[in-house]
Amino acid sequence: MQNDTIRLLGECDAGIQMAVKAIDDVTPSVDSRHMLHCLVKSRAAHLQLQCEAHTRLRQLGATGKAPNPMASAMSHLKTGARLAVQPDDSTVADLVIGGCNMGVKSLHKYRNRCLDADGDSRRIAGALIDLETELAQELYPYL
């Protein structure tokens, strides 16, 4: 049970780090005040979930997990290249929604594989899935 809990919380942590970095990468290119508000609000909510995940990991004597370095590098390069060509809200929305969709898919996969994870870690993963889904929905009008 503890291994599944740590594994699920680690994946949540890595996903949150990717999301926060992606938001930080795109916010300088945002024109819409509403979109900027959505991104800032989501970033804060991601960091709150990360604190919860870290607290639970510490209780278990474990640490967080860094995102895959290759995935991080590819995301950063893709974001930079797309925004260099077309630095507008539509591009930002497309990039963030794509990231949200990948995050939701990955979190569902790990939550389904870590069947013995405790309720707290499953709740955190579910809240993260909901947060990513909500952010994507808020950005659809900008596509």
pLDDT tens digit string along 9-34? 999 999 999 999 999 999 999 999 99
Global pTM value: 0.94
pLDDT by 10s per residue, the chain, length 143: 789 999 999 999 999 999 999 999 999 999 999 999 999 999 999 999 999 999 999 999 999 999 999 999 999 999 999 999 999 999 999 999 999 999 999 999 999 999 999 999 999 999 999 999 999 999 999 99
Cα separation of 19 and 14, whole Å? 9
Q: What's the per-residue H, E or C state across the chain?
A: CHHHHHHHHHHHHHHHHHHHHHHHHHHHHCCCHHHHHHHHHHHHHHHHHHHHHHHHHHHCCCCCCCCCHHHHHHHHHHHHHHHHHCCCHHHHHHHHHHHHHHHHHHHHHHHHHCCCCCHHHHHHHHHHHHHHHHHHHHHHHHC
Amino acid at residue number 60? L
Give the Å distances, CA to CA, from 71 to 15, 28, 66, 110: 11, 22, 11, 17
Query: What integer pLDDT is reported at residue 134 of this predicted model?
Result: 98
Class of domain 2-142: mainly alpha
Query: What integer pLDDT is reported at residue 20 of this predicted model?
Result: 98
Joined together, the tokens standing for residue 30 give: 């945002």
Query: What integer pLDDT is reported at residue 27 of this predicted model?
Result: 97
- Cβ atoms of 8 and 114 within 8 Å: the answer is yes
- Cβ atoms of 16 and 126 within 8 Å: the answer is no
Query: What integer pLDDT is reported at residue 95 of this predicted model?
Result: 98
pLDDT tens digit string along 95-106? 999 999 999 999
